[in-house]
Amino acid sequence: MASHEFRTPLSVISSSAGLIKDYSHKLDETKKLKHLERIQSSVTYMTQLLEDVLLINKAEAEKLEFNPCPLDLVEFCRDLVEEMQLGIHTEHTIALHIDDSTQACWPQMNMDEKLLRQILSNLLSNAIKYSPAGSSVDFHLAYQHPRVVFQVKDKGIGIPPEDQAHLFESFHRAKNVGTIAGTGLGLAIVKKCVELHGGEIAVNSVVGRGTTFRVAIPLS
């Protein structure tokens, strides 16, 4: 991986801490707060990056644990959406649609809750990150025997065709991301977690229109 992924936030921390230490008497409260916030967000970024790197290394070494357990999928998805919605306030709306025709007869699902969380939270956070503030993200959940299908659909920047084939490679980012931050690890992690469930992931995207990711996981 590129060492600047770590060096950039470290140099932000170092320069902001240095400024507070050496020029504290000259900085007003607003400026001090700005530097403290920079330190805080760099630490959060690095912690997440480190966790993702450790996770993908583990997955690539085939050492990721897979512990499927009975799961109430509908409740799990409702809770996840509520949790994510709290984190993004009102800038985006996540609309959860649960296929009504099958809701009454959802079978017992065995899934690894931790890995499923990785799959869905990465897809939802991408949909939010790569679409304009104020837009909504559709999250569909359906049971289509013999599998369960998750779809995350946004009206965002889309993915150029030449990047679509490389999305699931570690550190690959599409050429149209502009200044949107990211390391290119999320989808590599998602792919590994889907594979451990024996499932499949597919993408459909049009630049400037939006993107849909579809994950199908067979009943175990």
Ligand X SMILES: Nc1ncnc2c1ncn2[C@@H]1O[C@H](COP(=O)(O)OP(=O)(O)OP(=O)(O)O)[C@@H](O)[C@H]1O
**Which positions touch Mg ion (CB under 5 A)?**
126, 186
CB of 217 vs ligand X, minimal distance in Å: 19
Side-chain-side CA neighbours of residue 118 (13 Å): 25
Q: How many CB atoms lie within 10 A of CB 167?
A: 22
Amino acid at 199: G
Cβ(108)–Cβ(70) under 8 Å?
yes
Q: Token pair 């932000």 is at which residue? A: 12
Among the listed residues 81, 84, 115, 167, the single contact to ligand X using CB under 6 A: 167
Is residue 156 a contact residue for ligand X (CB under 6 A)?
yes
The window from 3-11, 88-96, 97-105, 178-186 that contacts ligand X (CB under 6 A) reads 178-186
H-type alpha helices, the chain: 4-23, 29-60, 73-88, 100-103, 113-129, 161-164, 186-196
How many binding residues for ligand X (CB under 6 A)? 22
Is residue 174 a contact residue for ligand X (CB under 6 A)?
yes
Site for ligand X in 118-147 (CB under 6 A): 122, 126-127, 130
The residue among 161 and 218 lying less far from ligand X, judged by its C-beta, is 161
The residue among 110 and 176 lying less far from ligand X, judged by its C-beta, is 176
Among the listed residues 157, 193, 196, 201, the single contact to ligand X using CB under 6 A: 157
Site for ligand X in 47-86 (CB under 6 A): 52
What one-character-per-residue DSSP string does 101-150 give?
A: HHHTTPPPEEE-HHHHHHHHHHHHHHHHHTS-TT-EEEEEEEEETTEEEE
CB of 187 vs ligand X, minimal distance in Å: 3
CB of 68 vs ligand X, minimal distance in Å: 24
Among the listed residues 211, 215, 216, 217, the single contact to ligand X using CB under 6 A: 211
Q: What gap in Å lies between CA 77 and CA 119, rounded to an integer? A: 12
Is residue 183 a contact residue for ligand X (CB under 6 A)?
yes
- Residue 71, token pair as written in the block: 């799961």
